[in-house]
Amino acid sequence: MSGSRHGARILLVSAMASGQGKTTVTAALARKLARQGRRVRVFKTGPDFLDPMLLQRACGAPVQSLDLWMVGLERSRRLLAEAAAQADAILIEGVMGLYDGTPSSADLAREFGVPVLAVLDASAMAQTAGAVVRGLRDYGPVQLAGVVANRVGSERHAQMVAEAMRDIPLLGTLPRQEQSLPERHLGLVQPDEVDGLDGVLDALADQLVFDADAWEALPVATLATLATLGAAEPEPAAPALLQGRTIAIARDAAFAFLYPANLDCLHSLGAKLVYFSPLADEAVPEQADAVYLPGGYPELHASSLAGAARWKRSMRQAHSDGLPIYAECGGMMALADSLTDMSGAAHAMCGLLPGHVTMQKRLAALGAHAWQRQEGELRGHAFHYSRMETELEPLARTVKHPTGQAGEAIYRKGSLTASYFHAYFPSCPQAAASLFLPEAAA
């Protein structure tokens, strides 16, 4: 069923709030369509690392971010156009509730004329589902393709929900799950940590009752129709600012929060990327000209990182040698003097950044941020449950979007730049490149 030459059917999967089952339904539908022989591409709205990992396992293709602010309108258009040229089915998982955020998932759907599939947790309602869904459709309004009722108790329950929808079709149902996707404080557990995940995804696809005729009735987005939105414009070539430079990137269960687009951006800037595992006590590769420590879950592996003497020595040596080091969120936490985990146990970290990190049960920061650099504005986000106590004065601060309030501190110590801020490199490739050049340490 490879109709990619003719375009793709597109749905934005959203809901009234977080916790309704958007990711579960998107994963189930992606796996179901893929098993039917369709080429499926999935996007995630807004900043997120964990949902895309799961959705990639569900559809078998990399999952990129799609967002009118962080990714930008023009790049979002190009990504959609590229997907329409390669796939038969495109699913866009929304963020939070349909109208939450500035811009919201509804704004994205309206910008590109994408029909919305509303996911509704029907476990504690029946006829009221009709009122909720009509409100979702009319408040914006948005083009509502239909509804998937999640956590349905019986066929009769599903029938009551369907009758309450009136003129809105119930496109699918998913029963209450005996085995839900496991979560922790930052969201879903990483796919590689879940035994039998593919079996869980297959079971979800089997249990998802979805109206195949309704899917076939969806409009097809073609390159021609997307081109009317400017989607056919090629992306400007990035200057080869990192040509000949090798960037060593920490990548394991403790440092896994990486936008695929960040890696693509570094490649396009000319960099060679090599990977190493601090958890496995691997040293920074000798050929490295710069080091990138992304975010992740260092707090879950603090004991192992504390004992990774070889890795610690290599980081200190890289810093002493003046290699540019860029550390985001979890990467910064691992470079502090110590990290106190959720149990209250303190662990000695690298000690490159003077200060102490303490985990807390309450969310410390969540939202979109921008970092104004000499080369331009880097956009991204912050999301963390820890606090950093340091006497080091910030080099700069991010700005929260859309309020304009002061955001996360950016710290600089020698050749090390560190912050809780997660940058989306394609938002300003020149600024991203500067983080890995010797001048960044000036």
Query: For residue range 220-274, what is the model confidence (pLDDT) as tens digits?
Result: 876 556 555 554 566 777 789 999 999 999 999 999 999 999 999 999 999 999 9
Work out the burial of residue 30: count CB atoms within 10 Å of its CB; fewer than 13 is exposed, 13-18 middle, 19 or more buried. Answer: buried
State the average pLDDT over residues 319-331: 97
Task: Give yes or no for a contact between 17 and 97, defined as CB atoms under 8 angstroms apart.
Answer: yes
Give the CATH number, domain containing residue 85: 3.40.50.300
Structure tokens at 163: 């009758």
The pLDDT tens digits for 82-120 are: 898 889 999 999 999 999 999 999 999 999 999 999 999
**Same domain assignment for residues 409 and 329:** yes
pLDDT at site 342: 92
Residue 38: pLDDT over 50: yes
**Same domain assignment for residues 211 and 262:** no
* Measured distance CA(215)–CA(88) in Å, rounded: 11
pLDDT at site 363: 83
**Same domain assignment for residues 221 and 365:** no
Catalytic pick among 265, 329, 350, 428: 329
pLDDT at site 51: 86
pLDDT at site 6: 59
pLDDT at site 174: 95
Structure tokens at 258: 């990486």
Say how far residue 200 (Cα) sits from the centre of its chain: 21
**Same domain assignment for residues 265 and 353:** yes
Q: In Å, how far are 25, 41, 214 from 209, measured between CA atoms?
A: 11, 20, 12
Q: What is the pTM of this model?
A: 0.91
Tell me the Cα Rg of the chain.
Answer: 23
Total number of domains in the chain: 2
* Measured distance CA(220)–CA(395) in Å, rounded: 49
- What are 406-415's contacts with CB under 8 Å, separation 24+? 407/365, 407/367, 407/369, 407/382, 408/365, 408/369, 408/382, 410/371, 411/332, 411/353, 412/441, 413/352, 413/353, 413/354, 414/319, 414/322, 414/441, 415/319, 415/322, 415/323, 415/324, 415/325, 415/440, 415/441
Task: Calculate ∠ Cα 104-90-232, nearest 5°.
Answer: 85
Residue 441: pLDDT over 80: no
Residue 405: pLDDT over 80: yes
pLDDT at site 222: 61
Least confident piece of the model among 103-112, 177-186, 356-365: 177-186
End-to-end CA separation in angstroms for the chain: 55
Residue 334: pLDDT over 60: yes
In a domain, 235, yes or no: no
Give the CATH number, domain containing residue 410: 3.40.50.880
Percent of the chain with pLDDT over 90: 79
**Same domain assignment for residues 270 and 367:** yes
* Measured distance CA(348)–CA(352) in Å, rounded: 11
**Same domain assignment for residues 194 and 331:** no
In a domain, 65, yes or no: yes
pLDDT at site 328: 98
Domain that holds residue 345: 246-441
In a domain, 240, yes or no: no
pLDDT at site 225: 60
Residue 61: pLDDT over 50: yes
- DSSP code of residue 379: E
**What is the band of 195 on the pLDDT scale with cuts at 50, 70, 90?**
low
**What is the band of 217 on the pLDDT scale with cuts at 50, 70, 90?**
confident
In a domain, 238, yes or no: no
Q: Give the domain-ending residue among 196, 227, 258.
A: 227
pLDDT at site 181: 60
* Measured distance CA(95)–CA(47) in Å, rounded: 9
State the average pLDDT over residues 174-189: 62
**Same domain assignment for residues 353 and 205:** no
In a domain, 241, yes or no: no
In a domain, 285, yes or no: yes
State the average pLDDT over residues 276-303: 97
Residue 350: pLDDT over 50: yes
Q: In the annotation, is 59 catalytic?
A: no
Task: Give yes or no for a contact between 231 and 77, defined as CB atoms under 8 angstroms apart.
Answer: yes
The pLDDT tens digits for 143-173 are: 999 999 999 999 999 999 999 999 999 999 9
**What is the band of 48 on the pLDDT scale with cuts at 50, 70, 90?**
confident
State the average pLDDT over residues 183-196: 54
pLDDT at site 183: 53
State the virtual CA torsion across 111, 80, 425, 182 in degrees, nearest 10.
90
* Measured distance CA(224)–CA(60) in Å, rounded: 26
pLDDT at site 179: 55
Sign of dihedral through CA atoms 201, 263, 237, 68?
positive
In a domain, 410, yes or no: yes
Residue 205: pLDDT over 60: yes
Biggest distance spanned by C-alpha atoms of the chain: 69
**Same domain assignment for residues 32 and 94:** yes
**E-strand spans in 122-252?**
144-152, 170-175, 183-184, 187-188, 209-210, 220-221, 246-250
Residue with tokens 């179901």: 32
